[in-house]
Structure 1
């Protein structure tokens, strides 16, 4: 019971923090303004939650082009800490090398889940035609993934089905990722 409670709490805290680190990475990659002057409330939220871990890492890890390696490493370290603590609490002996593998798969799973959530929010916001700054940010985050699908999938009765296709692709990716993780862990 204690393991389940700690597991839940670690999953929530590390999941939110590493997910926001990945969001920071992606928003910077997409060049979405995140400063207070830009009027982007999501950017302020992202900075408030991640500066404590990203800024010290940035002193050591320079960006590679548009890729903010400090944000990526922060997300990985948070996942590594989560799986490391769970590994120790489970009383697992040996096989500690599986923890970085679990962390890498956790990061990939978090990316797929985050994009799934963004696509769902985008689809809902597109139905209600809101003019909020958040709608513009979500559209800028999702649009690069929808563009290739929109090239091949025409509008059906004036309805854009590309978000639905992207959701199916993301779900298939999650299934494949789960099978790859199982296979990787069985190899060790």
Structure 2
């Protein structure tokens, strides 16, 4: 049963992470023609496009991609429903409707925050490693645009040590602390 939970969580993690990355890329006005834009759109179009058609006009326009954010939230809540039902079936927990609803919300929102924190960690790790190993990579320009708004405020506070920028390392530690608090 743990293997099934793991596979289910991994699938939802990938879908939610793609929806959140799509929202971030749209917010930063990064073209979706290059990677990871094409991959993200291939994974999320089936849900984001219908959500955008249902959203009220003021939310459908503007700098915030509400369609992708609502899709990520819907996926997280769907995971919460599936996980709560599976826990109910496997362990026979007979919960009231209010307890079931709160459990669904907690499971879904916890996954959403975890995907956000771990997704940022992956982006920052790839950004840091690629900046050392292959700084002229075509992917580096996209990673720079994705990570720089997050790194810039920390870079103002954390001084360079011996010519080395430690802001990404500080962010990784903070994200890890956030994951520990979430767990």
Specify the TM-score bucket, using the shorter chain as the normaliser.
0.7 to 0.9
Cα shift readout 1:68-125 (whole Å, capped 9, x = no counterpart): 1111111122122222112112223222112022211211111000001111111101
Q: Give 1:64 shift.
A: 6.2
Cα shift readout 1:25-53 (whole Å, capped 9, x = no counterpart): 1111111111x3xxx12111111111001
Distance in 1 of aligned mates of 2:3 and 2:157: 46
Corresponding residue of 1:96: 100
Match of 1:71 among 68, 72, 91: 68
Distance in 1 of aligned mates of 2:54 and 2:181: 34
Unaligned 5+ residue runs, structure 2?
none
Corresponding residue of 2:52: 58
Corresponding residue of 1:163: 168
Match of 1:136 among 122, 138, 141: 141
Corresponding residue of 1:84: 81
Q: Say what the alpha-carbon RMSD is for the aligned residues.
A: 1.5
Q: In the comparison of the two structures, how many residue pairs are matched?
A: 172
TM-score, structure 2 as length reference: 0.88
Match of 2:36 among 22, 36, 42: 42
**Residue 174 of structure 1 aligns to a residue in which SS?**
helix
TM-score, structure 1 as length reference: 0.85
Cα shift readout 1:151-174 (whole Å, capped 9, x = no counterpart): 122221111111111111111222
**Residue 77 of structure 1 aligns to a residue in which SS?**
helix
Distance in 1 of aligned mates of 2:121 and 2:35: 21
Q: Give 1:176 shift.
A: 2.7
